Amino acid sequence: MQLAVLILMVGVVAALVFTLVRLRKSNFSLLANRGAQKTRDNFEVLKPCPLCGTMLRRGETVHSVVFSGGTKAANATTTANTTTTRPADYLTHIFGCPYCHPANPGHPRKCPVCEKIVPEDGHVIARMFDKPGKKHVHVLGCTQCRRSR
């Protein structure tokens, strides 16, 4: 019995050594990179709603209205006899994500500035900046706390 187990273990070790020699180091790296890529493909980046904090998946967006007039950028671009200045920032009204807008008691909308509950007909006022590859939003306040200024 012990001899059979010993012979079986020697066979398993020999098979592992044979596999290791056959694969070599470069194939281990290739195998590891393939496994890592599968993990990256399955990984999903979640981003929070600025009002209720619910983590939003890809495709779930925050309802907002962007106004085209903003403060003008210092640098002007000239193309074919026309000079255009792009706004440095845009005034934006943020209403909420699919979970908190329209109003949902399970996901209350809180102003990031004053920490009060934003009313059903209210919104958050922000400035949106263009950054390379994405948009950046700076929240100024809600309709309640901005009204007092």
pLDDT at 1: 78
CB 52 within 8 A of CB 107: yes
CB 95 within 8 A of CB 73: no
pLDDT band, residue 3 (cuts 50/70/90):
confident
Summarised one tens digit per residue, pLDDT across range 113-122 is 999 999 888 9
pLDDT band, residue 83 (cuts 50/70/90):
low
pTM: 0.60
Phi, psi of 3 (to 5 degrees): -65, -40
Looking at the predicted structure, is the pLDDT value of residue 93 above 90?
Answer: yes
- Cα separation, 15 vs 107, in Å, equals 58
pLDDT at 75: 45
CB 39 within 8 A of CB 27: no
Looking at the predicted structure, is the pLDDT value of residue 49 above 50?
Answer: yes
Alpha helices by DSSP H, 100-143: none
- Cα separation, 31 vs 29, in Å, equals 5
